[in-house]
Amino acid sequence: MSYSRKDLEFGKLLKFIHVEGKNVMITVSRAIYKSQGNKSKNGRMPLKNFMEKYKISDIFDKECDALLARNILESDYDITFAYKFIQNICKDTYEQLTEHCKKQIRYLVQFRNEMSHKYVLENESFETQYRYLKGVFEDIYKGVAKTLNKGKNKGRINFDNEIHNMRESLKELLNVEITIADANSYIEDFRNNLLLKVMEAGKCDLSIRYSKLRVLNPCSWIQEYDEPERFKLETIFTEPYLSSDQCEIAVKDILTTSSKTAVILQGESGSGKTTFCYFLIHAWMTRPKVIQGLEDYRLVVLVELGRTTSKTVLQYLKEELIRGAFKEALDDDVMKILGELDILFIIDGYDESERKATLLKDILEKFGKKKIIITTRTVLKEELLGVVKQCKISSLVADLKGFVNKSYQVNYIEKVFTGVNRDKEGFLRYLNGRGKVLGEHLRLPLSLAFLIVLWMDDPKNVNSVTTGTSLYKELFCCFLKKLMVRLKGQGKYEGASNEKVLEILNKILFLLGKEAWDMLQQGRDVDFPNSKEFERECRKVKLDPVEFLSAFLLCSINEDSDCRDCKFYFMHKTQTEYLASYYIVHSVKKEDNLIMKLENIQDWKRYDQLLIYLTGNLALNDNLSGREKDIVHFVNETKILENNYTYLWHIVSESRIELKYPEAEGESIKYTKLVHNEIGKLIAQKLEGHTSWHPDSQSTAAALRLISLIPVHIEALDIVIPEDEEPYDIPDFIEAIEEVQDHYKYKKLSTELCLWKHESYGCENTSDRFLKAMERWADLKKFIGSLESVYCFKKNYPNLKNIRCKITSPEVLHSFKRLRSSVRALRISLKNLPDQCVQGDIPYLDYSGCLELTFHHINNDNLMQMYNFAHQLSGKYGCKSVCLKNSHISYDTLEQSIKFLNKLIAKTLEISCPDEVNDDRKMDLKSKAIFKIDWIHM
């Protein structure tokens, strides 16, 4: 075998880092452990015993159990183990290391990973890298020695001999003449080492497999457009909205936001879960630094549960994912190798296969200490959590909500249309006009992608699209027409009219729907079977089944097969469900019992989307009348909770609603009435007893639509939009508020409206439009938001109890004059006041309840102006509390002002803490004030 000079240099560098780098990490980790003294029995206590005694979590893999049970001073271990060892078991000492020393340790670990990972060195000469590594090694030795040489150990610990030996080793490597004989010493050592051999072959296998995941075109077979880059991952990936416990998670932090082992990524069908997985894979292959911690993983294993037939992780790795890497390895060797590697498992589609539990449990049991991301539909989150808990694995649940507002959607559209000669502005005009009816649907990236495909083909395609079912219907009509054109262009069906060819293709599409229905009943969601019956029916009409399937499904080719077998997959589970519903609706007769027809579905929780498409297809084919009770029966079978307003709204909207389209630009589409009133009545009956509604921000519009269009009567509605979401950006939200019908006209609905974003200091938008829109139907009890003009709370909301409002001008203060006694608490935040107004602008509120005032940017010069301002507002009643945010007031000024503030404040003053206010001065101020002072530390 011949080797290039680059091969030989790489081998030498690899040996240097694996030998000398390993020596460095073993030496310093042993020294750190010995420094624990009696706690570690001077380093002789086995790590397992040490962790048990001091209650340190075991973060090591099972393959390390034997090592953990031995004397670490007499054991051999690798760089990764040493890093975990000092970072977790000797955490206190590790934290005392200088930041530079910790940085060099991390560099050594990461560089070793990259060397084994890439088998390449970019941009730098080998000699430069040698010398840089020498500096890294010396910094680690000296940094650890400096930390350990404190107290009783002062001057006792040094690594001078180790540094000398390392330098000599480097000299020898640099001075040695490279010969062919060196290949056996360096490259063959690399290639014959099973671990490194697996990494090299595995990287090759994964590069081939993962490179196929770069295209996100939902209709990849359409090649008329000479724009192959349009749907490439690196071009169009748009970060979705991720959150956990109401807190947003940046995509770059998905691996580091929690120390818990598993991240369960839940979301609706089409919300972007699979695309997110592909993005992580692509990032790891090309630019891992865009995700915090991603570059630390030497192997990323993607498991698409809907597409695999494997039952164990070994079977999956050896037979499907990285066959070349493990071709000659024994099972025990494979497990040992994987145990030594930092691996990230990405498991996509828990909801897409009934075989999911077997393979998933095997991964969790064998690799429960590795980082694992698992995706699932929301309806199966609790089931998945049960599986994870059963395997005793800690988990974080993150919600993937897709494109939660217009800015996300526009960002995605901009990327797709970039460099494409298409009418982007026309598409945006459509979305802001007739396309508004799809509002909530377009939160799902898959739906928006389909809509763009339809629009690019012909803008007329989207005119009849108002629901998810109608979107799929038009999409398949588009596919059929394109297939017809392609077939006729090949000279097939010569002499037959377009209508005749479409009739033939529709019959085959019906059979494809039958296959989809059979798949769902068998628990298979996306992998299309090799159906002899389907092939036979295609041959009867002189149609190549592969050509037909290629028009609708995704295709992979078995490269190892002599006949290049084609394996087809539905592009998404929702596609399977739509086609299954298409088949059911077109095969059911008027007199057929729908419940009997679908009796084979045992777990409707897994097929909630099928029911939505079933409702839509029945409505589109005028076959829903008389079947409304069947639909609601199935809704109950899905175990959908009464507070899943979005799902219930999908069922109602798919049953058909009469729409009134805008006559002028800027107007909204009006939802006027249900075509099938029976559906509305039955859904309302389901909601009986659920009288207090608390939708989250993404389901609020759906809840309001339900209130407006079905005869449901509730007692209370709480609308709470958190501070990280702009209410105007939530699809359909303001429109839904404005369209609530008049059945609450005589007995208004008790409502709370909390728009936290608007109340925050930095937000420029105000809540006036929301307050005005709710006047007709809401009995407002609580309001949090902002105002830019005077509003009459006393007249419009006489039962209001709590107001928390930011105002933008002094005139708005007149909104709060002589409020009714029902208002128990009034908190006003004054933005840019009092500097920008004069005393005469300030009304006396004559309010005797709990008044709280918040001011910003108060200083020594305007503190008394603030006092006069607050005193004028509150008059004889004073304030319960005053909060001075982002303010800078000296101790002397504050001390002089206490006697005035004592006249104003009854309970609390919140104020920024000046640097010169020490504990003694705080006590002095406390003794002079009749109110409590809460210090805000800046």
- What 3-state class would DSSP assign to 851? strand
Going from the C-alpha of 500 to that of each of 477, 493, 496, 509, 809, the distances in angstroms are 15, 9, 6, 14, 69
Q: How much is the mean pLDDT over the chain?
A: 82
For residues 27 and 832, what is the distance between their CA atoms, to the nearest angstrom?
61
Provide the residue type at 97 as one letter.
L
Q: What confidence tens digit (pLDDT) does each residue in 690-702 have?
A: 889 999 988 999 9
Q: What is the pLDDT of residue 886?
A: 85
Q: What is the pLDDT of residue 88?
A: 84
For residues 751 and 86, what is the distance between their CA atoms, to the nearest angstrom?
56
Give the mean model confidence (pLDDT) for residues 516-536: 84
| Contact call for residues 865 and 897 (beta carbons, < 8 A) | no
Give every CB contact of residue 123 below 8 A, 6+ residues apart in sequence.
none
pLDDT of residue 228 exceeding 50, the answer is no
Predicted confidence band at 613 (pLDDT cuts at 50, 70, 90)? very high
Helix residue ranges per DSSP H, 373-441 = 381-390, 406-417, 424-432
Q: Which of 703, 651, 642 is nearest to 674 (CA)?
A: 651
Give the mean model confidence (pLDDT) for residues 317-343: 71
For residues 800 and 791, what is the distance between their CA atoms, to the nearest angstrom?
13
pLDDT of residue 207 exceeding 80, the answer is no
Q: What is the pLDDT of residue 236?
A: 74
Can the peptide bond before residue 731 be classed as cis, meaning omega within 30 degrees of 0? no
Place of tokens 């150990």: 153
Give the mean model confidence (pLDDT) for residues 564-585: 83
pLDDT of residue 284 exceeding 90, the answer is no
Predicted confidence band at 802 (pLDDT cuts at 50, 70, 90)? very high
Predicted confidence band at 202 (pLDDT cuts at 50, 70, 90)? low
Q: What is the pLDDT of residue 213?
A: 62
Give the mean model confidence (pLDDT) for residues 758-771: 93
| Contact call for residues 703 and 645 (beta carbons, < 8 A) | yes
For residues 898 and 890, what is the distance between their CA atoms, to the nearest angstrom?
13
* 75 compared with 57, residue with greater pLDDT: 75
pLDDT of residue 290 exceeding 70, the answer is yes
Which stretch of 190-199, 460-469, 890-899 has the lowest confidence by average pLDDT? 190-199
* 60 compared with 579, residue with greater pLDDT: 579
For residues 414 and 424, what is the distance between their CA atoms, to the nearest angstrom?
8
Give the mean model confidence (pLDDT) for residues 481-506: 90
* 909 compared with 401, residue with greater pLDDT: 909
Predicted confidence band at 190 (pLDDT cuts at 50, 70, 90)? very low
Q: What is the pLDDT of residue 563?
A: 42
CB atoms inside a 10 Å sphere around CB 588: 18
Place of tokens 């033939």: 504
Which stretch of 429-438, 497-506, 774-783 has the lowest confidence by average pLDDT? 429-438
Q: What is the pLDDT of residue 198?
A: 59
Provide the residue type at 393 as one letter.
I
Q: What is the pLDDT of residue 915?
A: 66
Instruction: Indicate yes or no: pTM above 0.75.
Output: no
| Contact call for residues 856 and 832 (beta carbons, < 8 A) | yes
Q: What confidence tens digit (pLDDT) does each residue in 831-886 have?
A: 776 555 555 678 889 898 999 999 988 888 888 888 888 988 898 899 999 999 88
Q: Which of 650, 514, 507 is nearest to 580 (CA)?
A: 514
Going from the C-alpha of 4 to that of each of 1, 9, 736, 742, 880, the distances in angstroms are 10, 9, 69, 82, 80
| Contact call for residues 408 and 634 (beta carbons, < 8 A) | no
Q: Please list the residues that pair with 399 across neighbouring strands.
A: 243, 266
Give the mean model confidence (pLDDT) for residues 330-344: 75
Give whichever of 89-98, 743-752, 767-776 has the largest mean pLDDT. 767-776
DSSP 343-386: EEEEEE-GGGBTTHHHHHHHHHHHSTTSEEEEEEEGGGHHHHHH
Q: What is the pLDDT of residue 123?
A: 46
Q: Please list the residues that pair with 400 across neighbouring strands.
A: 242
Place of tokens 């808990």: 389
Going from the C-alpha of 247 to that of each of 136, 250, 267, 377, 395, the distances in angstroms are 39, 10, 16, 20, 16
For residues 68 and 66, what is the distance between their CA atoms, to the nearest angstrom?
5
778-787, strands of its sheet edge to edge: 692-693, 716-721, 749-755, 778-787, 802-807, 825-830, 850-856, 879-885, 905-912, 932-936
Q: What is the pLDDT of residue 224?
A: 46
> Exposed e or buried b for every residue in 123-159, given b needs 16+ CB within 10 A?
eeebeebbeebbebbbbbbbbbbebbeeeeeeeebeb
Which stretch of 111-115, 560-564, 847-851 has the lowest confidence by average pLDDT? 560-564
- For 711, the token pair is 């005869």
Give every CB contact of residue 824 below 8 A, 6+ residues apart in sequence.
801, 802, 849, 850
For residues 235 and 419, what is the distance between their CA atoms, to the nearest angstrom?
11
- For 259, the token pair is 């120390």
Q: What is the pLDDT of residue 559?
A: 47
Provide the residue type at 840 as one letter.
G
Provide the residue type at 423 as one letter.
D
3-state secondary structure 778-832: EEEEEEEEEECCCCCHHHHCCCCCEEEEEECCHHHHHHHCCCCCCCCEEEEEECC
Exposed (0-12), middle (13-18) or buried (19+): which is 86, by Cβ within 10 Å? buried
For residues 139 and 651, what is the distance between their CA atoms, to the nearest angstrom?
65
Exposed (0-12), middle (13-18) or buried (19+): which is 270, by Cβ within 10 Å? buried
For residues 412 and 405, what is the distance between their CA atoms, to the nearest angstrom?
11
| Contact call for residues 147 and 98 (beta carbons, < 8 A) | yes
Give the mean model confidence (pLDDT) for residues 52-62: 79
pLDDT of residue 579 exceeding 50, the answer is yes
Q: What is the pLDDT of residue 510?
A: 94
- For 454, the token pair is 């339809």
Q: What is the pLDDT of residue 78?
A: 84
Predicted confidence band at 429 (pLDDT cuts at 50, 70, 90)? confident
| Contact call for residues 790 and 809 (beta carbons, < 8 A) | no
| Contact call for residues 934 and 910 (beta carbons, < 8 A) | yes
Predicted confidence band at 929 (pLDDT cuts at 50, 70, 90)? very high
Give the mean model confidence (pLDDT) for residues 910-938: 83
Going from the C-alpha of 100 to that of each of 138, 139, 143, 144, 748, the distances in angstroms are 12, 8, 8, 11, 65
Q: Quick one: which H or E segment has residue 267? A: strand 262-267
Q: What confidence tens digit (pLDDT) does each residue in 140-183 have?
A: 999 999 999 876 666 578 898 999 888 888 777 766 655 555 54
Predicted confidence band at 117 (pLDDT cuts at 50, 70, 90)? very low
Q: What is the pLDDT of residue 223?
A: 46
CA 185, chain centre distance (Å): 47
Share of the chain above pLDDT 90, in %: 25
Q: What is the pLDDT of residue 204?
A: 63
CA angle, residues 280, 283, 284, in degrees to nearest 5: 85
Give every CB contact of residue 154 below 8 A, 6+ residues apart in sequence.
none
To the nearest 5 percent, what fractions of the chain are helix, strand and coil?
A: 50, 15, 35
Give every CB contact of residue 181 below 8 A, 6+ residues apart in sequence.
none
- For 353, the token pair is 């296969």
Four-point Cα dihedral 768, 774, 779, 783, nearest 10: -30
Give the mean model confidence (pLDDT) for residues 196-222: 58
Share of the chain above pLDDT 70, in %: 83
- For 202, the token pair is 């595995």
Q: What is the pLDDT of residue 652?
A: 92
Give every CB contact of residue 885 below 8 A, 6+ residues apart in sequence.
761, 854, 855, 856, 910, 912, 936
pLDDT of residue 705 exceeding 60, the answer is yes
For residues 399 and 268, what is the distance between their CA atoms, to the nearest angstrom?
9
Q: What confidence tens digit (pLDDT) does each residue in 730-754 have?
A: 888 998 898 886 666 668 899 999 9
Q: Which of 674, 671, 684 is nearest to 739 (CA)?
A: 671
Predicted confidence band at 2 (pLDDT cuts at 50, 70, 90)? very low
Four-point Cα dihedral 581, 587, 591, 595, nearest 10: -40
Compute φ and ψ for 732, nearest 5 degrees. 70, 0
- Angle (deg, nearest 10), helices 126-148 and 5-16: 0
* Pair type for strands 242-244 and 395-400: antiparallel
pLDDT of residue 368 exceeding 80, the answer is yes
Give the mean model confidence (pLDDT) for residues 396-418: 85
Q: What is the pLDDT of residue 375?
A: 93
